[in-house]
Amino acid sequence: MTNGEKIEDLRQRSFEAEAQGNYKAGIALSHDMLDLIEDNRVHLQLAAFQWERVALMHLRLNQPIMAEEAARKSLETYLRKRAVAGGNWSPERDCYLADFRMTLALSLAYQKRYTEALDCAEQWEKVHFNVRNADDPFIKDVVVPHMKRLRARKAGEPVPEDAL
């Protein structure tokens, strides 16, 4: 089995474990996969997405500190991938980068670190408003409610009904 085949096998098995709610196994398989990653743009892209999945599985296990660590690794890995890829790149329009930042924001919010979380989330919000129309369903159904909830929590106010 080639390295690429091993990576794909572990990635698929981690997806299956996650889908079955076996997050600990999904995390372990993800770490096995990440150990095989090489320093090229394709592998780094896979690794960034896998670290994000690890972060989200840690959140499902109510492990926000471990989720934060994995979210930071997803951001770091994605930025390394961008450096390896070179070329023109606009972070202000990069939805992948924005989504990795939002995963970090969620892990910080779970720790009640709302000021730090809001900083990351506002970057996420800005990117999505840059690339989508204000009436886009993703903006109306995901971005706006997330930001209302986070801003209310940071202010110590009740979460508005339209943000639930």
Give the pLDDT of the chain (164 residues) as one tens digit per residue.
999 999 999 999 999 999 999 999 999 999 999 999 998 999 999 999 999 999 999 999 999 999 999 999 999 999 999 998 888 889 999 999 999 999 999 999 999 999 999 999 999 999 999 999 989 999 999 999 999 999 999 999 998 887 76
**For the domain that residue 137 is a member of, what is the CATH number?**
1.25.40
Q: How far is Cα 29 from Cα 134, in angstroms, rounded to an integer?
A: 39
Report helix, strand or coil for 85: helix
Determine, yes or no, domain membership for 20: no
Long-range CB pairs of 130-133, under 8 A, 24+ apart, other chains included: 130/92, 130/93, 131/93, 131/95
Place of tokens 């098995």: 13
**23 lies in some domain:** no
Number of domains in the chain: 1
**Domain housing 149:** 37-163
